[in-house]
Amino acid sequence: MALIVISIHRNEEGENIARIIDLGDIRIVSMDIFLEGVDVPENAEVLNVANRYKIYIASEEAPDGKVEFMIYDNGSRKQLINIKYIGRLAGDKALAYLNKVVERLSAGSNI
C-alpha cells in the first residue's frame, strides 16, 4: 500500500496558500486564488450549478503533468478560484511553477 502525504503550505501571515498531496510518483498541488476578469477558454468543460452559476474547468500542459483551472461565473463576473498542478514534479517545484502561472495570468495573459 502506497503512503499518501498531505501537506499545507502557509505564507508569512500563516494563511494557507497551497495543499500538496503526494501519492508517491504523482503530486497534486492545489492553490485557491481569486483573480477576476479571466476569459474562459473555448475548450473548457462547464458545470451548471442549480441554474444559478457555472463552474468552468480548463487545463493546459505543464512540465511532467498538467495544470487545471477552475473558473466561477455568476452571470455578471468571472473569477479564477482555483489552480491545480497534477503530475510528477516535486511538490516545491510544482508550487513554484503554479506561482509563475498565476503571475502570468495576473499580468493579463489568457488561460
pTM higher than 0.75: yes
Greater confidence (3 vs 92) lies with 92
pLDDT (tens digit per residue) in 42-90: 999 999 888 889 999 999 999 999 999 999 999 889 999 999 999 999 9
**How far apart are the C-alpha atoms of 88 and 28, rounded to whole Å?**
9
pLDDT higher than threshold 60 for residue 1: no
Beta bridge partners of 87: 27, 65
Chain position carrying cell 452559476: 53
Question: Which among 100, 97, 93, 44 has a CA at the least distance from the CA of 73?
Answer: 44
C-alpha cell at 66: 498538467
Q: Do the Cβ atoms of 40 and 109 come closer than 8 Å?
A: no
Task: Work out the mean pLDDT of the chain and round it to a whole number.
Answer: 91
